[in-house]
Structure 1
Amino acid sequence: MVEFPESNVGPKFKGKRVGYFRETAGYRRYAGAYRDGFGMLPSVRETINVPTSFGDVRAYRFGEGGATPLLLLPGRQAATPMWAANLPGLMAVRPVITVDLLGEPGLSVQSKPLTDEVDQAAWLSEALAELESRPVHLLGVSIGGWAAVNLAVHHPDRVASLSILDSPFVFGGVTWKMITVSLGSVLPGMPDAWRNKLLSWISGGVSAPEELPEGRLIASGMKDFAAYLPMTKKPTKEQLSTLGMPILGIYGGRSIVQNARRTVDKARKLLPGGQFEVWPEASHAINGEFPDEIAARVAKFLGEIDA
């Protein structure tokens, strides 16, 4: 059973520059989708609300064992339930921790504005300090991959390795298609049918994303949640060159977010010691399309590090 905190709900939060649900009905809609999606996850070992300087971060532990945990960071407008397809395979590799990103829709509750990428790294570093004393392996999808790299840039002592899935703003920008989706999906008053079409476009042509719990979750997050986040800033070449931890980057050949081959070419030049791949049949929804393959690839990557 998922535990719901006291969230930021209602117009009283407007103007405070923190993420909030616009109205009670929208929050209830989101909570219902979260509850349904959470019910599809494996058994949770521990639910934790971690206090940080910027708000309380919701985290969950899955799996057993003493190996260094794998921390999962979701994409924009998503949260822990988006990992339903991935958790069984990843838990077979090592213990897993998930967090809901602060400032995004989810059960993390923001209390202070995030002004730049330093703040975005700070809250995650503070949360990890409470969750795990040693550096952890990070796996992030989409903007969660950017968050993982951003943490590694500003707090490398927290990071044992990086695995990123079709993540923009790390080695390049985004396409005009993605800009269209990003702007259109969060416009107040947009008809649900149009929002669903945008979700389908970014999800590789899924006919009705809202038929899936994670699709309902993301759609409600787009419609019902107001986020006040700083502009996502790509790390500089100098910052990326300082990353000493192992890194795996997988990009979708059918993704509308970025040109996968160009991105991988840039990544290999900037970080020649990294492992970067294009999966031709994958879209931006790569984690849901290829959960078994991702688990196997991450297991191989982490196995090499352990060895």
Structure 2
Amino acid sequence: MNDPVEPNIGAAFRPRRLGHFRDASAFARYRNAYDQAMARLPEPDQTQDVATRFGTVRVYRFGTGDGVPLLLLPGRTAATPMWEANLAGLIAHRPVYTVDLLGEPGLSVQTRAFTSAADQADWLAELLDRLGLDRVHLFGVSIGGWSAFHLALRVPKKVASVSLLDPASLFGRFTWKVVVMSLGSVVPFFPESWRRKLLSWISGGADASEDEPVANLISAGMRDFTAFLPPPTYPTDDQVAGVDVPVLALIAGRSIIHNPRKAALRARRLLARGVVELWPDASHAINGEFPERVNARVLAFIDEVDRTDSAALG
């Protein structure tokens, strides 16, 4: 794998409120976990480090086919390897781009602090311009879903559709359980065994042992990276209703990040062009629990969007 641009390492980045690895050893541990997890993915057709006003973004392209591409946005501390269960099935149907989110653990490198949700939409919009992508289908999980929503809200001309997997802080407010979970990501001396239990808890009992590469990566990011991200703003009813692109929202019935039933009700009530499904057996780790079912549902949705768009143009 290509070396990334020079990572942010050490406390010198703290006064500038930039995401950084705690020290050189922390980055080395994280990079080893990242490479091991990436080795489980299909080989990227292209790897790029793309400069934006807020930092350099690590981008992978998988697949070389035609059609409006998918852009995958990962959950917090997860980076590109979290899509291991989904990638092969998705790239068999259309080109796919994945990114490591700026300000989060990964190989993207933040150079300017975020102050608002608008900033986090701005760097994504700029990234699409730099990649030469006029329109994309967005596919985000958890906080990646929050990022996808805000891009669609602010720059809808770039967005063909949005698929959301149990999105965070969009249709339901965070629960106290998320506060407990967040402690494991910010306290350096948090016992590793407890961190693993928290990961398993938020994932509905999924394997978070040292034999699981993605769990290792997330745990390393929680332990070794310091982030300075503003709390994700909770959108108003008018903002949710103002997203004028097709939206597929898959809400996990066993999610701990919000009240799933209330979240699904709010999404159904407000989304102007929404398809909302509550999956009773899914946890917040829905993409890994039901990869074939998730892939099939998302691909069917975006295929229908493309057919509708083509008919409108033709």
2:169 corresponds to:
169
2:56 corresponds to:
56
1:275 corresponds to:
275
2:45 corresponds to:
45
1:197 corresponds to:
197
**What amino acid does structure 2 have at the position aligned with 1:266?**
R
User: How far did 1:253 drift?
Assistant: 1.0
Could you tell me the TM-score, scaled by structure 2's length?
0.95
User: How far did 1:6 drift?
Assistant: 1.1
Q: Distance in 1 between matches of 2:40 and 2:84?
A: 6
Answering whether residue 162 of structure 2 is matched by residue 142 of structure 1, we say: no
2:65 corresponds to:
65
- The count of residues paired between Structure 1 and Structure 2 equals 307
Q: Give per-residue Cα distances to partners, 1:95-133, cap 9 Å, x unaligned.
A: 000010000000000011111111111111101111133
Q: Give per-residue Cα distances to partners, 1:181-218, cap 9 Å, x unaligned.
A: 11233212111111111111111112434321110110
Q: Give per-residue Cα distances to partners, 1:64-89, cap 9 Å, x unaligned.
A: 21110000000001100111111001
Q: Distance in 2 between matches of 1:121 and 1:272?
A: 21
2:210 is paired with a residue whose SS is helix
Q: CA RMSD in A?
A: 1.2
Q: Distance in 1 between matches of 2:209 and 2:286?
A: 14
> Cα–Cα, structure 1 residues 180 and 31, in superposed 2: closer, same or farther, change >3 Å?
same
Q: Distance in 2 between matches of 1:130 and 1:246?
A: 24
1:23 corresponds to:
23
User: How far did 1:246 drift?
Assistant: 0.4
**Larger deviation, residues 102-111 vs 270-279:** 270-279
Determine if contact 1:252/1:283 at 8 Å carries over to the other structure: yes
Q: Distance in 1 between matches of 2:207 and 2:305?
A: 39
2:215 corresponds to:
215
User: How far did 1:3 drift?
Assistant: 3.1
Equivalent runs, 1:113-124 vs 2, <5 Å: 113-124=113-124
Q: Distance in 2 between matches of 1:244 and 1:217?
A: 35
2:235 corresponds to:
235
Determine if contact 1:247/1:275 at 8 Å carries over to the other structure: yes
Residue segments in structure 1 that go unaligned for 5+ positions in a row: none
Determine if contact 1:241/1:270 at 8 Å carries over to the other structure: yes
1:57 is paired with a residue whose SS is strand
Answering whether residue 41 of structure 2 is matched by residue 76 of structure 1, we say: no
Determine if contact 1:168/1:257 at 8 Å carries over to the other structure: yes
2:310 corresponds to:
none
Identity across the alignment (%): 53
Could you tell me the TM-score, scaled by structure 1's length?
0.97
